[in-house]
Amino acid sequence: MAETPLLSVRELKKTYPGASGPVEAVGSITFDVRPGELVCIVGPSGCGKTTLLKCLSGLLPPTAGSVVLDGSEVTAPPAKMAVVFQEYGRSLYPWLTVRDNVGLPLKARGVPRGERARVVEEALQEVGLGHALDTYPWQLSGGMQQRVAIARAVAYQPEVLVMDEPFAAVDAQTRADLEDLVRRVWKDLGVTVLFVTHDIDESVYLGERVLMLSSSPTVVQEDLRIDLPDERDQLTTRALPRFTELRTHVYEQIQRAKRGTPLPTPH
């Protein structure tokens, strides 16, 4: 019997009112995510990835269709979900220490001071920033600030961690380290991760599945299982012939998405 999905997206559609008529950003998107999966979403620029995530996380009402999380329809930001955005610079408060930034959502949730301190310290240890508790975000590099944003999401103990192009603004070496951090956090915590990226290699390296979106009005062009070994490593995984096959397929599919002629799924 198939496992009950944790997240279920059904015929989700989003149309924005535009100055020269309605803009159909998301045409009709349907997919399920099982508990504990790591799913990447990739698609051409402007295909509606951010719009989809905003609808998933209850920040934007869909025009039609539904998002169901753990049996309840999402109509507002769910307590079981944490979101990490690309712009870490704007998501951290410069006047609060790293400790207080990470602890803020827990404080809002009414977690007592002692427990809060413990959870915050553990989360910062998890992302390798146990030494930076009393620094301020502006004293840290971009990659470290993004680690703080991830620690804040981890401390919140969500069932679903949603990430919207979280590493687009960091250098290549930092990005590789942060990718490995996401895989480690995912494994250590058993959290379900939905990771949006425009980077094809990143989607194949990180995901257990890659959902490829078409151009607007967006549909799921292909739902591809990534059959790479579970233990991933920046050097050996990326050097595997299967990695190259999968990234080539995703690349071709995205190119075809732009032209509207999809490829069949490879075997």
Ligand X SMILES: Nc1ncnc2c1ncn2[C@@H]1O[C@H](COP(=O)(O)OP(=O)(O)OP(=O)(O)O)[C@@H](O)[C@H]1O
Give the Å distances, CA to CA, from 197 to 46, 133, 166, 247: 12, 29, 8, 14
Rounded to the nearest whole angstrom, what is the least distance from the CB of residue 182 to ligand X in the complex? 19
Of the residues 3, 4, 18, 77, which one makes contact with ligand X according to CB under 6 A: 18
**CB of 53 closer than 8 Å to CB of 162:** yes
Rounded to the nearest whole angstrom, what is the least distance from the CB of residue 30 to ligand X in the complex? 17
CA 127/CA 122 separation, integer angstroms: 9
Of the residues 4, 16, 113, 131, which one makes contact with ligand X according to CB under 6 A: 16
- 210-239 binders of ligand X (CB under 6 A): 216
The yes or no reply on residue 25 touching ligand X (CB under 6 A) is: yes
Q: Tokens 């620094």 label which residue?
A: 135
The yes or no reply on residue 190 touching ligand X (CB under 6 A) is: no
Rounded to the nearest whole angstrom, what is the least distance from the CB of residue 54 to ligand X in the complex? 8
Segment lying near ligand X (by CB under 6 A), choices 15-23, 64-72, 110-118, 251-259: 15-23
Closer residue to ligand X, CB minimum distance, 56 or 98: 56
The two beta strands, 192-197 and 7-16, are: unpaired
Phi-psi region of 9 (alpha: psi -120 to 50; beta: other; left: phi over 0): beta
- 104-163 binders of ligand X (CB under 6 A): none
Q: Output the CA torsion sign for 163, 168, 170, 174.
A: positive
For 179, the token pair is 């990718």
Closer residue to ligand X, CB minimum distance, 27 or 105: 27
The two beta strands, 7-16 and 64-69, are: antiparallel
Closer residue to ligand X, CB minimum distance, 50 or 237: 50
- 36-65 binders of ligand X (CB under 6 A): 43, 45-51
Rounded to the nearest whole angstrom, what is the least distance from the CB of residue 168 to ligand X in the complex? 9
**Residues near ligand X (CB under 6 A), total:** 14
CA 179/CA 195 separation, integer angstroms: 11
Rounded to the nearest whole angstrom, what is the least distance from the CB of residue 254 to ligand X in the complex? 11
107, 110, 113, 118 alpha-carbon torsion, rounded to 10°: -80
Closer residue to ligand X, CB minimum distance, 25 or 250: 25
Closer residue to ligand X, CB minimum distance, 119 or 194: 194
121, 123, 127, 128 alpha-carbon torsion, rounded to 10°: 20
Binding interface with ligand X (CB under 6 A): 16, 18, 23, 25, 43, 45-51, 198, 216
